[in-house]
Amino acid sequence: MPGSDLSGSGEGAASGVRKARGSPDTTEPVVMSNNYDWLSLKPPEPTPAQCCGGGCSPCIYDQYRTQLDLWEKAKERDDPNFLQKNKPQETEDTGRYRFRLPSGTSLGLQLGQHLVLRGVIDGAEVQRAYTPITPGGRKTHFEVLIKIYAQGLMSRFVRCWRPGDSVSWRGPFGGFLYKPNKFGEVLLLCSGTGMAPMLPIISHVTDDEEDETFVTLVVCAQDFRNVYMKNFLKEQGRFWNVRIFYVLSREQSLDNLPSSYRENSKLGRIDSIFLAKVLETCRRKPYTLVCGSVSFTQDMTHLLKQLGQDDSSIFSF
């Protein structure tokens, strides 16, 4: 696309143009190679600990076998785009979309930074910010969570994507300046796809053996089916310094949840009583990150200040 800063293939590859170092408005042509790193594209086999045991359909092992079969067929054809014929669905209306990067490059994102997706619908340009959920230094691809809305203009654009199509990204923008052990504890409050910037932060903490920061994540969703990245969260929740709570606004009963989730789940919405208990049980003084809709961010900021948290200890994406 003309004027793009980073082009990629929807559900596929990023190729042709990438952001040059320095200004996000600079472009630099990239020559692609046909020597694909197939080992890095191979889906990782799940561990027994990643299965929640709740009888999910499809189970994480079903997804792995499907992705492995696609990988084998794509490798045989020497065509990475074949991998994207079935994108991973998180829920009925939300999927993980993968974009391949030019060989030997990475986004170089800092924690919490986002990209802006640009598209054209009926002659009008539409833009929307998305935070990659993959580590910023990954050199093969990046993934974003995209929710499809029935009447959304960007959703219309996304629904038109086919493997191999080029799309335009700008960025990176924003960012949350984090250093290992900078905070005693981080409290992450998120709703819906507002989970996206929280995932790399959690991974960053648990991947660093020297980082002893405590992490408390509160995930808000309509019901258990609409909780994204369940297997990732379950795996992260096993670390000694990570705890996760689920707040489900429309779930009818905790009995509908797998038994391993019930103790740390709440029906309804985040209120001052629940949030006060979370703050009281933080193991160290928390620094709070908030991400979600405008109303969610406003509500959480208001509650936090009511409970004695000041502006210097709250960051909103």
Closest among 166, 40, 156, 37 to 99, alpha carbons compared: 166
Q: Is the pLDDT of residue 243 over 70?
A: yes
Q: Is the pLDDT of residue 286 over 90?
A: yes
Please compute the mean of the pLDDT values over residues 265-275 and round it to a whole number.
95
pTM over 0.75: no
Ranges 47-61, 105-119, 254-268, 288-302: which has the least confidence: 47-61
pLDDT at 34: 44
- Between 88 and 165, the more confident residue is 165
Q: Is the pLDDT of residue 89 over 90?
A: no
Closest among 31, 17, 165 to 87, alpha carbons compared: 165
The alpha carbon torsion through 119, 225, 48, 134 (nearest 10 deg) reads 20
Facing residues of 76 across strands? none
pLDDT of 8-35, one tens digit each?
A: 443 333 333 333 222 233 222 222 234 5
Looking at the chain, the whole-number percentage of residues with pLDDT higher than 90 is 44
Please compute the mean of the pLDDT values over residues 177-187 and round it to a whole number.
91
- Between 57 and 13, the more confident residue is 57
Task: Domain ranges for the chain, please list them.
Answer: 6-173, 185-316
Ranges 62-66, 79-83, 158-162: which has the least confidence: 79-83
What are φ and ψ of residue 200, in 5° steps?
A: -65, -30
Q: Is the pLDDT of residue 84 over 50?
A: no
pLDDT at 99: 85
CA pair distance 317, 304, nearest whole angstrom:
15
Q: Which amino acid is at 144?
A: V
Fold of 6-173: Elongation Factor Tu (Ef-tu); domain 3 (2.40.30)
Please compute the mean of the pLDDT values over residues 131-153 and round it to a whole number.
85
Give the pLDDT band (50/70/90) at residue 36.
Answer: low
Distances in whole angstroms, Cα of residue 164 to Cα of each of 47, 167, 185? 32, 10, 42
pLDDT at 13: 35
Residue 12: partners with Cβ closer than 8 Å, 6 or more residues away: 80, 81, 83, 84, 98, 99, 100, 163, 164, 165
DSSP string covering the chain, please? -TT-SEEEETTSB--SEEEPSS-TT-EEE----S---HHHHSPPPPPGGG--SS--SS-HHHHHHHHHHHHHHHHHHT-GGGGGGSPPBSSSSEEEEEEEPPTT----PPTT-EEEEEEEETTEEEEEEE--SS-TT-SSEEEEEEE--TT-HHHHHHHT--TT-EEEEEEEE------TTSSSEEEEEEEGGGGTTHHHHHHHHHH-TT---EEEEEEEESSGGG-S-HHHHHHHTTSTTEEEEEEESS---GGGS-HHHHTTEEES---HHHHHHHHHT-SS-EEEEEES-HHHHHHHHHHHHHTT--GGGEEE-
Half-sphere exposure of residue 183, counting CA atoms within 13 Å on the CB side? 24
Classify domain 185-316 by CATH number: 3.40.50.80
Give the pLDDT band (50/70/90) at residue 4.
Answer: very low
Q: Which amino acid is at 140?
A: T
Mean pLDDT of the chain: 80
- Between 87 and 310, the more confident residue is 310
CA pair distance 23, 178, nearest whole angstrom:
22
Residue 303: partners with Cβ closer than 8 Å, 6 or more residues away: 270, 271, 272, 275
Pairing verdict, β 286-291 and 185-191: parallel
Q: Is the pLDDT of residue 73 over 50?
A: yes
